Amino acid sequence: MTKRIRLSFLSLLTMTALGGCTVKNNEAALHCLKTATVNAVSDPMTWAPLAGAGVLYATPYDEKITDYFIAHPWTGEEDNGERARDVNTFLTLGTAVLVPEERWQERGRRVVVELVTIRIARVSSSILEANIKKETPDGRNEYAIGSHHAVSPFAGSALTRRNVEGMGLPPWAGYGIVGASYLSAGASALSRVEDGGHSFADQLVNASIGNMIGLFFHDLFLLDKRTAIQASLGREQAYVGIRFTY
């Protein structure tokens, strides 16, 4: 996928969200967007990693912490990062299926929204990687920002957290599932620090971005059941829109 195609894809998603919201009721649609945006930006798992990254970038500690993990890997074998990401996705989709819904269509809708959100997170990390230059710790690449091993899993963990909130589980069970999800996301991100592909602060930035994407799209599409995705396919063009019914 070329840089232009990636940028166009993200622009299409942005215009779909902003333009589609005005179909039925401007005031209600803007309220929906505002709620999703505020929830995503104000969440501690969005701003705390970003603040931590800022501190590390401004001090020598980012390099020191990164060098430590390169010399003393915590995740073990190189493939463990991929396994951690797979576990993370399994937890996201597994909890999505288990959220109580009145109709099976709503459960399917939740799964589709969360699959698409994880894909959006992956595309977003590709855009960051292709457009922001920062030398990797191992010196092999100039594009260090943007990590599939951090953005996508942390988006998945944010979705898992929302799913667990709707499952009515005992606190210990909910904390256990959410903790396992964030642990797998952290292991996935850390694996790329250990192989020299990203610094520790880079992965904090990517964790923040992933969490924000996960919460934004979940809350935009799944907090209000009256929000729907519509699509139509013609001979030469495809249309995707968002419908709000009030």
**Tens digit of pLDDT for each residue in 16-58?**
443 434 344 556 667 788 889 999 999 999 999 999 999 999 9
Cα 179 to Cα 165: distance, rounded to the nearest angstrom = 13
Where do the domains of the chain lie? 3-244
Q: How confident is the model at residue 67 (pLDDT cuts 50, 70, 90)?
A: very high
**Residue 83 has what pLDDT?**
93
**Tens digit of pLDDT for each residue in 127-171?**
888 788 777 787 776 766 888 899 999 999 999 999 999 998 999
Angle 70-75-80 from CA coordinates, rounded to 5°: 120
